Amino acid sequence: MAEKKFMQADDLFHISSISDPRFSPDGSEALFIRTEMDKEKNTYVSNLYHWDRATNTTGAWTHGKDRVSGIQWAPNGEQFLFLSTRNEKNQVFLMSKNGGEAKQITDEEKGVNSAIFSPDGKKVIYHVSAEKDENKNGDEKAEEKDEKDLPKPKVIERMKYKADSVGLLEESFQQVKLVNLEDEKVETLLSGKQNFNVLDWIPNGQSFFYVTDEEVDQDFNFNMNLYRYDLDSKQSSLIETEEGYVSGLRVSPDGKQLLFVEMGRTYENATHTELYHYDLETGIKTCLTEGLDAPVGDFVVADIQQQPVLQLVVWASNRDFYFPVSTQGNLVLYYGNVDGELYPALQDDFHIYGFDVNGENQQALLTVSTPTNPSELYSLDIPSGELTQVTHFHQSFLEKTEVVKPESISYTSKDDWTVHGWFMKPAGYEEGKKYPMIVNIHGGPHAFYANTFFHEMQLLAAKGYAVLYVNPRGSHSYSQEFVDAVRGDYGNGDYEDIMNGVDYITNRYDWIDQERLGVTGGSYGGFMTNWIVGHTNRFKAAVTQRSISNWISFRGVSDIGYYFSDWQIQAEFSDVEKLWKHSPIAYVDQMETPLLIIHNENDFRCPIEQAEQLFIALKYRQQKTKFVRFPEADHNLSRTGKPNLRLERLNHIVGWFDEYLQ
């Protein structure tokens, strides 16, 4: 057998992402999406794939060079819809399962955000964005068109005037439209100065459920109300929910019950998402996950999942249902019923980031990532618990490539709390040799590292580094107390959790060279990298990415700054002393570690001025630093950025550590 090669940066082009499995109504077949990087076009390509239950075989049903998403089967199972960018803007397409060309059924100027069939399959309801002033008269529109190529000032009246990955926002609102598939007539059902989002239909097709943020002060509104809309009367009725967000709503097959996920405001954005049951006949609402102390949904941070779509709950019958839970560094599948029974249906060291269930056949399809396998489709026989791998897209790649299996670790930190994480030996590890180690810190902070494939970690190990990555307090998947503990305490308990992890590993493995330790991280992980080098010289090299260095300026320049600082640092703008106390740049005089600063030009979440301040402060003090700016990249460069820039980023990170640690 040929010797395996070590992981390389451009192996990203050999890794595809399998997502969004959807059973046909009778459960005899399913569709899913495969997304890959296109090296020649420097972009991402996704196509529809089909799975046949009888033969357990799969095959591609589209072969385009665009993006597809939003699969949904028609109720009769003879056709399905999906969204595609084949004509630039995302539009709804209809396709027969017997083959033939897909038919475009929408032609919206700004594209379509999502779409679902009506219960009779004769209509499609979909969402579009409409500008605030879309009802201008014809003369105004013509004049605007004539002058469209001239530069114009932006008049801004709201604090929410920009968004990462979007840029400066035109003030717009999400409308709901209904297209009749027989005559292709389009009707606008819901519109106005608010954002509507339809979640599901009542099976008889007479009404549907939607959420909206209401026509209120959008800058300070962090709430979505739930309504039922009646098509005959065109009236909406409110369903009482707690302040916060409702998502993932599904109506039971008999149309008498709802299941939905709610995220309240008790701990702001650190609040656990809970699963609720609602009886439409009695109006009684019950929290089903109150005793679980783990959030419903996916909060995993990784770098290879593209277009993940995770349903938050799926009914298997009028009594039984399934939902995903982030728990103890895993994303697992839970079973529940309306009587309140809950237990894990499928639990292992993995990351389930998509699933569907066919109750009649007692079968589930899941997209799963493990620490040593990027992404595949699996079939679960629910009664027996037997899990079978369906696709093998990465088999050839994995047979030729050395993949390091991370070791799960846990240790005691501040307040006697247990912290969980992973440790990787260098690829090709040899007894008796000394190796450098890199600590990699996740963003969020309310995300978490998991038992999932992480190309960046594998690359660092392949380059000869031991790799440590942990979930400090503030990370999801452990408890509500644990995830909330970082708020108002940035740089204290979380810092100790990370440094105690370094102590735990270096005391355990004497082959780690403590004179060659490195640290890196992005977003909150970038903040923590900056904080670490301002509070210890233990690391001999550091790379900070899309970081925060100054909470005072962050409040005014980030797209979320004005409320994120309140929620996370728990300091208003007038409390300059506290904002400065938690700002890494306040400790720049103590920073002596060689620091590479990586930031993205179009990052509106952690704007590039955060990096500029830190770079100038370090250069002014004649410290060893370098600033790498990435054009045409937003906050998500490491996950969804242009392929060539993702490779450049990885090469800069490895190059810096090679210079100072090897």
The span from the CA of 325 to the CA of 507, in Å, is: 34
pLDDT at 134 > cutoff 70: no
Number of Cβ within 10 Å of residue 293's Cβ equals: 13
618-652 residue pLDDT tens = 999 999 999 999 999 999 999 999 999 999 999 99
Structural domain boundaries in the chain: 253-384, 402-661
pLDDT band at 23 (very low <50, low <70, confident <90, very high): very high
Identify whether 375 is a catalytic site residue: no
pLDDT at 135 > cutoff 90: no
Residue 136, pLDDT score: 45
Tell me how far the alpha carbon of residue 421 is from its chain's centroid. Answer: 20
Report which of 350, 381, 325, 460 is spatially closest to residue 8, judged by C-alpha positions.
460
Report helix, strand and coil shares of the chain as percent, to nearest 5.
Answer: 20, 35, 45
397-444 residue pLDDT tens = 999 999 999 999 999 999 999 999 999 999 999 999 999 999 999 999
369-379 residue pLDDT tens = 999 999 999 99
Report which of 468, 452, 451, 461 is spatially closest to residue 403, judged by C-alpha positions.
461
195-212 residue pLDDT tens = 999 999 999 999 999 999
pLDDT band at 147 (very low <50, low <70, confident <90, very high): low
**Read out DSSP for 589-609?**
GG--S-EEEEEETT-SSS-TH
What does the pLDDT average to over 543-563?
Answer: 97
Residue 1, pLDDT score: 59
Residue 139, pLDDT score: 45
**Domain 402-661 carries which CATH code?**
3.40.50.1820
What does the pLDDT average to over 479-507?
Answer: 98
Active-site annotation holder among 14, 455, 635, 638: 635
What does the pLDDT average to over 320-337?
Answer: 98
Residue 149, pLDDT score: 78
Whether the CB-CB separation of 226 and 245 falls below 8 Å is answered with: no
The span from the CA of 653 to the CA of 467, in Å, is: 14
Q: At 183, list the tokens.
A: 């005559």
What does the pLDDT average to over 533-560?
Answer: 97
Q: At 384, list the tokens.
A: 């027996």
Whether the CB-CB separation of 612 and 555 falls below 8 Å is answered with: no
Residue 141, pLDDT score: 47
Identify whether 523 is a catalytic site residue: yes
User: DSSP character for 183?
Assistant: T
Active-site annotation holder among 247, 413, 523, 547: 523
What does the pLDDT average to over 570-595?
Answer: 97
Q: At 503, list the tokens.
A: 């102590």
User: DSSP character for 259?
Assistant: E
Residues 6+ apart with CB under 8 A from 329: 349, 408, 420, 448, 449, 450, 451, 471, 477
Report which of 325, 296, 341 is spatially closest to residue 333, judged by C-alpha positions.
325
47-61 residue pLDDT tens = 999 999 999 999 999
496-543 residue pLDDT tens = 999 999 999 999 999 999 999 999 999 999 999 999 999 999 999 999
Lowest mean pLDDT among 210-219, 434-443, 605-614: 210-219
The span from the CA of 375 to the CA of 379, in Å, is: 13
Amino acid symbol at 367:
T
Average pLDDT over the chain, rounded to an integer: 95
The span from the CA of 62 to the CA of 20, in Å, is: 15
243-302 residue pLDDT tens = 999 999 999 999 999 999 999 999 999 999 999 999 999 999 999 999 999 999 999 999
Amino acid symbol at 613:
Q
The span from the CA of 102 to the CA of 121, in Å, is: 17
Residue 2, pLDDT score: 72
What is the reported pTM?
Answer: 0.95
Report which of 615, 614, 617 is spatially closest to residue 549, judged by C-alpha positions.
614
pLDDT band at 353 (very low <50, low <70, confident <90, very high): very high
What does the pLDDT average to over 467-491?
Answer: 98
Residues 6+ apart with CB under 8 A from 484: 267, 270
Whether the CB-CB separation of 520 and 533 falls below 8 Å is answered with: no
State which fold the 253-384 domain adopts.
Neuraminidase (2.120.10)
Residues 6+ apart with CB under 8 A from 580: 551, 552, 586
pLDDT at 583 > cutoff 70: yes
Backbone torsion region of residue 268, taken as left when φ is above 0, otherwise alpha when ψ lies between -120 and 50, otherwise beta:
left
Residues of 69-99 as b/e, b for ≥16 C-beta within 10 angstroms? bbbbbbbebebbbbbbbbeeebbbbbbebee
